[in-house]
Structure 1
Amino acid sequence: MRIYLHIGFPKTGSTAIQAHLVMNRQWLSSRGYALADTGHSEGYGHVQLFEDPALSLLDSLKQEIDQLQSQGIEHVILSFEGVVTLGRKKLEKIHAALSEHEIFIVAYIREQSEVVQSGYFQAAKQRPQKRIIADYHSNKKLITPKHINYQTTLEKFEGVFGREALIIHVYEKEALKEQDVVVDFLAILGLEKDDNFVKAATLQNISLDPGAVYLLNMLDGYFNDAEGREKLVDTLLTRIANEGAKGKYFLSRENTDYIREFYTASNRYVQQRYIKSSDYQDLFSYSKKTHCDNFEQFAAMGSETLEFLNQYNKFRSWQGVELTGKDLQSLASPADGWSSPEPWGVWSDNDESFLRFRLPVTTTSPFKHTLAITLTGDYFEGNDQTRVIINDQIDETVSLLEHEFRVSIPALDQYRTVEIKLCHQHPTSPADIGAGDDIRRLAYALKKLSYQVID
């Protein structure tokens, strides 16, 4: 049995590799390959297997491998970029558990000035940062971290698994097979994609750009709202996914030259010892510009990003988690034909009411195509149906005591915005029918709202 342990290195396409392995489990199985189930978490690789301090799932992994072997599987794949950070004792424990099999360590390495910048953008995407962009211009330690000294890390793996077990490729388009890290990884496995191999239609792990990070740096200094920040980041990523990034780099030429000089000796060692073939004199081509010439533009980019957010502010990012009672006010606003929320829900007020939201790009699977939206509620005085218009897809009159609408996700606009317009039959004021002094024009009482992404 051959075991391929993909250890990543930061910002080298690990998310794309992991996503395609999951999407093509059956394709792999038909060719004698299996993505191990033990400790696997969709979207994160084998995080549960390798992040456990005791590595307690290794025995379960051994049992799974034995079972797969009995089923005719000849190759098992493991993938988690956090493996590069494991200490030698843990690596020895992994090696000992799998020593009955032939183990290969697969890693991609990327030019360090790109890793520093892309890595910071990734960190800023995930959580507020103590350091802001400007800090990286003056602190040499920040731009030369130990974890991207590839010589040190690869020597650690060589000491445990042996030099011949290491398969190291350079993460540059020109160095990858078909300029695609997924296709390149398949080639390492001894496979070649065909018409039955499923390729994702969208990018995985979209990166922020300098304007978005500049804005986050500023806002993070004033606010501490994790849920709100997550929605903000998703909106920023949606823009980038559709319009493209407005730049990638924030370091100066002086910074990038320093980084390259700092890692020159270790990179040369890696090239000579671990790279089996290379078209470059150095480990990396260094042909691409990885610095920024004008730092003053970041403020302008941040302002432009703020203008974009204002444009789409009425479409709140929402993951479809059921809203009830006063929580409905996050989508059912008084400005959109709704009354003030009450403990049980919210009344419509006037002839029309609107519900607007946006599917988050970061948490919505690109491989599902239908949105199932459910409204639950009640009616007031002579109302028993509602005309419902959803984008350009649905226009029907139905009872909304409880009703599910199916909406095509590919038919939504590029920002995946959804607008539900409710046209009420006979809005009636309680005051007009002698039921108190309430002058609101009521028709529909919304009690629950949710959606699921299906198919």
Structure 2
Amino acid sequence: MARARGSRLFRNFRDRLARRRGQTLAGREPVPRARRLVLHVGGPKCGSSAIQAALAANNERLAARGVLVASDAMDAAQIITYGQVGYFREMGDRPTRVEELTHRFKALAVAMDDRAADMLILSAENLLLQPGAAAMVIPAARAAGFLPEVFAYVRRRDDFLIAAWQQWGVKTHASPEEFWKDFDFSGWLPALTSWEEQVGLQSLKVFPYRRDFFPDGDVTVHFMQVIGLHSPEMARPAPANPSCNEHLTDLLNRVRDLFSGGHDNDVLDKLAQIIGPAAFKAGSGSYFLPLEQRRAVLEQARADDEAVKARYVPQLGAAPLFPPLRPEQVVECSDIEKLRAENALLLRAIYSLNLRVSQIETATPAAPSWRRLLPKRRSGVRAVQPDR
């Protein structure tokens, strides 16, 4: 909870700083010219954190190529950590949000004039499924003189539901079934349609999130390629925001009171530091959706998948939008096996903590005995004993 409060204080400071910068630029109008806006809208659990990590790692290289990556606060500070997901989440349904966004876009355009930049990149994966987001962002961008292009990744329904449960639902709902019911995900097509209505079919680029579809299996390389910026010099950071081990997911689900909400990652971050790599999934298999339930989910998603492929990914031809379900993706695990795996994780955590305490005790000089603090005896004089 302390971290959540610290995060709020940081966001408040960040927003005040952004407002000051905006006020400095408010008196200036951007030079009338073509500016390309690359807007990555997700989808959620489709490699967005990896894309944002790559943008952050290559910020200077991109700037040298005439690209401005907006900061987390939607300004030109060049500080990108999680993309603009938090900014748009906090904006909510404020009545002046379009006007505020227009001012932000204009300030970014002025900053692009100062830096001789021709392309602006935003990455906010929550936007794809956020109702009304397209009607908020696209008109504001166009009013500031940008030519928007929207890029979205979509994931196979069963994998997406499992990943969403492990990312958000485990902290808020007692079971995956309860979360999926409240999550109310009706498919990718309705969300994509809302963006198409704003930018047009030609400016909406949709890709299936599948590693066999990406160069070297890396979504960040694919994204840089499709926006025309990939080069061998681009840094490829370590995987970002990996999925939690399913046994640790079960443990976290029993202590939901420790979380302030679905987006609170403080507990998991601390446990991952203690447990190590075993805190994260080692493969694509899962026991959260049994085989028959997975098949039912995929059957329910078939019409949506076919419509998405036909309209947005016709280059796949006769191939399906997503690869079929493989047997190794469905893990059979008894309750006893789950408990044993959870106990193993807890033992790892305890052992790791013990090692850290031992290291601290070894590095800290031993506290001196109180007798060493007493004045030395002089001839005929007794040392004063401390009160007992």
For residues 381-417 of structure 1, give each alpha carbon's deviation from its aligned partner in whole angstroms, at most 9, with x where no partner exists.
xxxxxxxxxxxxxxxxxxxxxxxxxxxxxxxxxxxxx
Q: Determine the structure 1 residue equivalent to 2:168.
A: 123
The one of 104, 118, 121 aligned to 1:60: 104
Rounded to whole Å, the distance in 1 between the matches of 2:162 and 2:138 is 33
1:199 aligns with 2:236: yes
Q: Determine the structure 2 residue equivalent to 1:305.
A: 345
User: Which amino acid counterpart does residue 74 of structure 2 have in structure 1?
Assistant: G
User: Which amino acid counterpart does residue 22 of structure 1 have in structure 2?
Assistant: A
User: Which amino acid counterpart does residue 39 of structure 1 have in structure 2?
Assistant: M
Kindly indicate which of the two structures has a greater share of residues assigned to strand. 1
The one of 347, 352, 363 aligned to 1:420: 363
User: Which amino acid counterpart does residue 270 of structure 2 have in structure 1?
Assistant: D
Structure with more relative contact order (C-alpha pairs < 8 Å, separation 6 or more): 2
Q: Determine the structure 2 residue equivalent to 1:294.
A: 333
8 Å CA contact retained: 2:46, 2:154: yes
State the Cα distance separating 1:302 from its structure 2 match.
Answer: 1.0
Structure 1 residues 198 and 150 mapped into 2: Cα distance closer, same or farther (>3 Å)?
same
Q: How does 1:265-414 map to 2 (within 5 A)?
A: 265-278=303-316, 281-288=319-326, 289-296=328-335, 297-314=337-354, 355=360
Count of aligned pairs: 328
Q: Determine the structure 2 residue equivalent to 1:97.
A: 140
State the Cα distance separating 1:91 from its structure 2 match.
Answer: 2.2
Q: Determine the structure 2 residue equivalent to 1:180.
A: 218
Structure 1 residues 436 and 232 mapped into 2: Cα distance closer, same or farther (>3 Å)?
farther
Rounded to whole Å, the distance in 2 between the matches of 1:151 and 1:159 is 12
User: Which amino acid counterpart does residue 172 of structure 1 have in structure 2?
Assistant: R
For residues 314-356 of structure 1, give each alpha carbon's deviation from its aligned partner in whole angstroms, at most 9, with x where no partner exists.
366xxxxxxxxxxxxxx7xxxx7xxxxxxxxxxxxxxxxx626
For residues 347-383 of structure 1, give each alpha carbon's deviation from its aligned partner in whole angstroms, at most 9, with x where no partner exists.
xxxxxxx626xxxxxxxxxxxxxxxxxxxxxxxxxxx
Structure 1 residues 3 and 232 mapped into 2: Cα distance closer, same or farther (>3 Å)?
closer
Rounded to whole Å, the distance in 2 between the matches of 1:421 and 1:46 is 43
Rounded to whole Å, the distance in 1 between the matches of 2:174 and 2:279 is 27
Rounded to whole Å, the distance in 2 between the matches of 1:428 and 1:287 is 69
For residues 291-326 of structure 1, give each alpha carbon's deviation from its aligned partner in whole angstroms, at most 9, with x where no partner exists.
22224332221111111122123366xxxxxxxxxx
State the Cα distance separating 1:179 from its structure 2 match.
Answer: 1.2
Q: Determine the structure 1 residue equivalent to 2:125.
A: 81
Kindly indicate which of the two structures has a greater share of residues assigned to helix. 2
8 Å CA contact retained: 1:212, 1:236: no
8 Å CA contact retained: 2:189, 2:308: yes
1:170 aligns with 2:112: no
1:109 aligns with 2:145: no
5+ long unaligned stretches in structure 1: 317-330, 337-353, 357-418, 440-455
User: Which amino acid counterpart does residue 245 of structure 2 have in structure 1?
Assistant: D
8 Å CA contact retained: 1:105, 1:167: yes
1:36 aligns with 2:70: yes
Structure 1 residues 224 and 272 mapped into 2: Cα distance closer, same or farther (>3 Å)?
closer
The one of 252, 260, 271 aligned to 2:290: 252
8 Å CA contact retained: 1:214, 1:299: no
Rounded to whole Å, the distance in 2 between the matches of 1:225 and 1:63 is 36
SS in 2 for 1:256: helix
Rounded to whole Å, the distance in 1 between the matches of 2:110 and 2:173 is 46
1:50 aligns with 2:85: no
For residues 47-70 of structure 1, give each alpha carbon's deviation from its aligned partner in whole angstroms, at most 9, with x where no partner exists.
354231333243122232244146
SS in 1 for 2:247: helix
Rounded to whole Å, the distance in 2 between the matches of 1:48 and 1:129 is 19
8 Å CA contact retained: 2:66, 2:115: no
SS in 2 for 1:105: strand
For residues 251-293 of structure 1, give each alpha carbon's deviation from its aligned partner in whole angstroms, at most 9, with x where no partner exists.
1001110110111101100000001422762210125443222
User: Which amino acid counterpart does residue 355 of structure 1 have in structure 2?
Assistant: I
Rounded to whole Å, the distance in 1 between the matches of 2:63 and 2:41 is 22
5+ long unaligned stretches in structure 2: 1-34, 376-382
Q: Determine the structure 2 residue equivalent to 1:397.
A: none
State the Cα distance separating 1:144 from its structure 2 match.
Answer: 9.3
8 Å CA contact retained: 1:4, 1:106: yes
SS in 1 for 2:40: strand
Rounded to whole Å, the distance in 2 between the matches of 1:33 and 1:285 is 35
Structure 1 residues 238 and 117 mapped into 2: Cα distance closer, same or farther (>3 Å)?
farther
User: Which amino acid counterpart does residue 64 of structure 1 have in structure 2?
Assistant: L
Q: Runs in 1 of length 4+ with deviation above 6 angstroms?
A: none
Q: Determine the structure 1 residue equivalent to 2:253.
A: 217
